[in-house]
Structure 1
Amino acid sequence: MGRVEQLRANIRRAYLAGRATVRPNSHEDLDDDPIALAEPSVNGSRSADQQVPYPLRIAAAWSWRMLIVAAAGTVVLWVVAKLHQVVIPVAIAMLMSALLGPAVVWLRKRVRLHRSLATAIVMVGGLALVAGTLTLVITQFVSSWEDLSQKAQGGIQQIQGWLKRGPLHLSDQQLNSIVSEAQHWLTDHRSTLTTGAVTTATTAFDVLASTFLVLFCTFFFLRDGRRIWRFLVRLLPAGGREPLGSAGDASWQTLVAYVRATVLVAFIDASGIGIGLVIMQIPLAFPLAALVFLGAFIPIVGATLSGTVAILVALVARGPVWALAVLLLVIGVQQLEGHVLQPAIMGKAVAIHPLAVIVAIATGVVLAGIVGALVAVPIVAVLNTGIRHLAARRSDEPEPGPPTEVVVRG
């Protein structure tokens, strides 16, 4: 046994000495070579995969994964485009549910109403509010139309006088030529405008069907939204139910916060511009304020675009000076919204970079027009929250430690 012990000791000393000399040399080789080569395989030859530089292998791995993601996104967009008459009403119903959901929860918890009754009360109240607002807008518009037409004639004369005596110095012949060209354009495009009107009339049934679908989906989202979400989560694989369910809950809270904040910002914008129009005695102040309220649901550009209509009305009714005053009012309200209201009300919960907002709105307009611009930013906010939530969960998971050392004793 003495020889065996001595042999084992000699082998151990040789192993330790060899390891002490090999490790520094291996570190020096790695430091000298910026791209570490893969170790040879057991057979002594490297595979074709290992002969490719490591950065190129990483780029290739990212490339084919990104291609798969792009292909999946293309398929999703194609399906959405084909089913836009269903997808858009469902998206609007989700926005309505996010807005009215807190009221339903309050009625169920504080007043102890059944969820169906609470949902019905909230929806009837919301429809009554919308109908009342539309009635006031239409009534004021009809009552002010004659006065606006008379003022428009005087405003057009003021504009013509400014074009003659202003910096442009246009002559009567040039003005008549401009008016004649405008009349010829209307005559040439009358068939196109008439066709558009007929097309709009033929799509009235589609509008009614979409409205019914919005109301139907909104009712059941408010009544059974939580149950519907739990049912969808149970369809997922067992390992993904908890993280995806948690990410969905966080995304829904973001959507609720976004819609409530947007409504508050829109109300402040409409109130500011409406009060300013009343003080300046601009016709159709209330309808223009309602238009600003609707436009404010499209961030950054909505209030400005709807305020442009108020500027045109002021230009026709009161002249260039008052139009300039309304322009300054719209710019002031827009600056207040962008630098004070949105950061203070929305906060970091739904903070999105302005570039992402503009790109999302442009993409929504291209894909689905005005409705696409309306739902684009909420979709981006929901996706942003969901992805961040999943990434945070992944970073919080403990990384696997080094393998435990196994010591074999003879």
Structure 2
Amino acid sequence: MSDPAPESRGSFLDALRRRTVTIDAPSAVPNALRIATSYAWRLLVLAAAIGVVIWLVIQLKLLVIPLLIAILITALTWPAFTFMLRHRWPRWLAIVVTVIGTIAIVGGLFWVAVWQITRDFRSVQERTVASAEQFRQFLIDGPLHLTAAQIDDGLAQAIDFAQQQAQVLWTGALAVGSTVGHVVTGLLLTIFILLCILADGGRIWQWTTRLFPKDARPAVDGAGRAGWRTVVTYARTQLLVATIDAVGIGISAFFLGVPLAIPIGVLVFLGAFIPFVGAVLTGAVAVFIALVYNGPWIALWMLIFVLLVQQIESHILQPILMGSAVKVHPLAVVLVVAGGAMVGGIPGALFAVPLAAFVNVVAVYLSSRAWTTVGEQPLTGDLIWSTVPRKERKKA
């Protein structure tokens, strides 16, 4: 059988093309699916970028942790430092007073806490052992009728669980290190960075803004200033709240006759810088010490005072002092602190909230294009002018 003529074959193909329904590939994909995939690949790219940043932070943790600590200390001391500059103190004197005062306050707190612990340690140890033995005997002779083997097994499991959780916090991905050399190096690096920020923070920030294109510098400068004001407000508020918590719980422990009242106050003060989680853990320590040393009734009163102080903090102090500067919902705070603790241990929990507040304010500032409506000139914010020498301000 012979092939059809070329003319007939061409006419057949033309007829087939006329009958063929042209399918537009983009229109064949549902619009919702195209939107979802558009978001999906962008989210994947964003997640990859965040993952790379976290990986770099973990690899450079010996530099990043001292840097973040120095920035947080700068934010804590910023109101006092700028107060001295506004009242025409020499810059070098303001820096010396700020650094030495901070070291003296922190060192004094630790010295007083260690002094009372060494003084009362033996009596607290004896009372703790006696209370533990009484509680053990109650579990055996009481309504539960537990055996000694059951109590020992449960106690061993509880100790193992506590050690595992403590190990997770102390050896997180952002842990600076357990050796003395790492700790000393981190401490010296933190002090050096703090001195550099206080002495030359203005020029450092100007150099940072020049890394961006010229058209983007006003946005970067405004966003940085807004984020910095948020961090300063957060640090100032947490410092005041931590002081009130420590004084309230420490005085309550003292009048109730609970031992180690000063170390409890210091522990509450330090723990208050980790929102929610720190307050709960330090309050639990205070109640536990009251229980094993003073008995259940004093422990109940200690619990009442701890809850009273924390309720005053969360419902009165935080809304009034924090205001609208740090716009982070309490649920977000809890999730951020938990996530930071899982990723970076204690450093992650400490820096999670200020970082989240900074990122939130910067994102809102950039998305609303606030630098075009506020009317501020670039490089003229508090972060710059309070640290740039006056001669250089006139040249800018």
TM range (shorter): 0.7 to 0.9
Q: CA deviation at 1:380?
A: 0.1
1:72 offset after TM fit, Å? 0.9
Deviation string for 1:93-120 (max 9, x for gaps)? 100011112222222221431x233212
In structure 2, how many angstroms separate the alpha carbons of the residues matched to 1:279 and 1:91? 38
- 1: CA distance, partners of 2:256 / 2:204: 51
Amino acid of the structure 1 residue aligned with 2:347: V
Question: Is 2:248–2:309's contact at 8 Å kept on the other side of the alignment?
Answer: yes
Larger radius of gyration: 1
User: For residues 204-215 of structure 1, what are the structure 2 equivalents within 5 Å?
Assistant: 204-215=180-191
1:102 and 2:79 aligned? yes
Shift of the 175–327 alpha-carbon distance from structure 1 to 2, 3 Å rule, reads: farther
Q: Does 1:313 align with 2:289?
A: yes
- Structure 1 residues 309, 107: closer, same or farther in 2, change over 3 A? same
One-letter amino acid of the structure 1 residue matched with residue 71 of structure 2: M
* Structure 1 residue aligned with 2:151: 178
Q: Name the residue aligned to 1:351.
A: 327
Bigger RCO of structures 1 and 2 (CA < 8 A, at least 6 apart): 2
SS at match of 1:299: coil
Question: Pairwise CA RMSD of aligned residues?
Answer: 3.0
- CA deviations 1:351-375 (Å, max 9, x no partner) are 3112211121111112211111000
Q: CA deviation at 1:155?
A: 2.2
- The answer to whether the 8 Å contact 2:258/2:294 transfers is yes
What is the letter of the counterpart of residue 141 of structure 1? I
Residues 140 and 286 in structure 1, CA contact (< 8 A), matched pair in contact too: yes
- Aligned residue number for residue 68 of structure 2: 91
1:257-277 alpha-carbon deviations (Å, 9 max, x no partner): 000000111111111111110
The CA distance in 2 between the partners of 1:81 and 1:49, in whole Å, is 43
Which residue matches 2:309?
333
Q: How many angstroms does 1:227 deviate by?
A: 1.6
Superposed, which structure 2 residues align to 1:5-154 within 5 Å?
Answer: 48-49=25-26, 52-113=29-90, 115-154=91-130
Matched with 1:13 is none
Give 3-state SS (helix, strand or coil) of 2:144's partner: coil
Corresponding position: 1:278 with 2:254: yes
SS in 1 for 2:275: coil
Letter of the aligned partner of 1:365 in structure 2?
A
Contact map agreement 1:304 1:331 (CA 8 A) in 2: no
Letter in 1 for 2:54: L
Would the alpha carbon gap of residues 100 and 202 (structure 1) be closer, same or farther in structure 2, given more than 3 Å must change? closer
Percent identity of the aligned residues?
40
Asked whether the equivalents of residues 360 and 376 of structure 1 are also in contact (C-alpha less than 8 Å), the reply is yes
Tell me the number of residue pairs that the alignment of Structure 1 and Structure 2 aligns: 341
Measure how far apart 1:284 and its partner are.
0.2
Instruction: Report the CA distance between 1:51 and its aligned residue.
Output: 5.9
Is the partner of 2:368 in helix, strand or coil? helix
Partner of residue 241 from structure 2, selected from 253, 262, 265: 265
Match of 2:388 in 1: none
Determine the C-alpha separation between the residues in 1 that align with 2:326 and 2:368. Answer: 16
Offset at residue 202 of structure 1 (A): 6.1
Amino acid at match of 2:37: A
How far residue 296 of structure 1 moved from its aligned partner, in angstroms, is 0.7
Q: TM-score of the superposition, structure 1-length normalised?
A: 0.76
Scaled by the length of structure 2, the TM-score of the pair is: 0.78
User: In structure 2, what is the equivalent of residue 229 of structure 1?
Assistant: 205
Contact map agreement 2:222 2:371 (CA 8 A) in 1: no
Pairwise CA distance, 1:156: 2.7
Of residues 144-153 and 207-216 in structure 1, the stretch that sits farther from structure 2 once superposed is 144-153
Tell me which residue corresponds to 2:215: 239
Give the match's secondary structure for 1:344.
Answer: helix
Query: Could you tell me which amino acid in structure 2 is paired with residue 353 of structure 1?
Result: H
Given candidates 189, 192, 196, the residue that maps to 1:220 is 196
Q: Distance in 1 between matches of 2:201 and 2:191?
A: 14
- Residue of structure 2 in register with 1:294 after alignment: 270
CA shift for structure 1 position 62: 2.5
Q: Which runs of 5+ in 2 are unaligned?
A: 1-21, 171-175, 374-396
Contact 1:89 1:214 in 2 (8 A): yes
Cα offset, 1:240, TM superposition: 1.1
Shift of 1:395: 11
Q: Is the 8 A contact 1:312 1:323 kept in 2?
A: yes
- Counterpart pick for 1:256 among 232, 253, 276: 232
Distance in 2, matches of 1:257 and 1:125, equals 20
Name 2:4's counterpart in structure 1: none
The CA distance in 1 between the partners of 2:159 and 2:37, in whole Å, is 57
CA deviation digits over 1:211-234, x for unaligned, max 9? 111111111111212221111001
Separation in 1, partners of 2:346, 2:316: 26
Asked if structure 1 preserves the Cα contact closer than 8 Å seen for 2:75 and 2:235, the reply is yes
- Which residue number corresponds to residue 368 of structure 2? 392
Q: Secondary structure at the match of 2:307?
A: helix
TM superposition shift of 1:165: 5.4
2:328 is paired with a residue whose SS is coil
Gap regions ≥5 residues in structure 1:
1-44, 398-410
Q: Deviation at 1:81?
A: 1.3
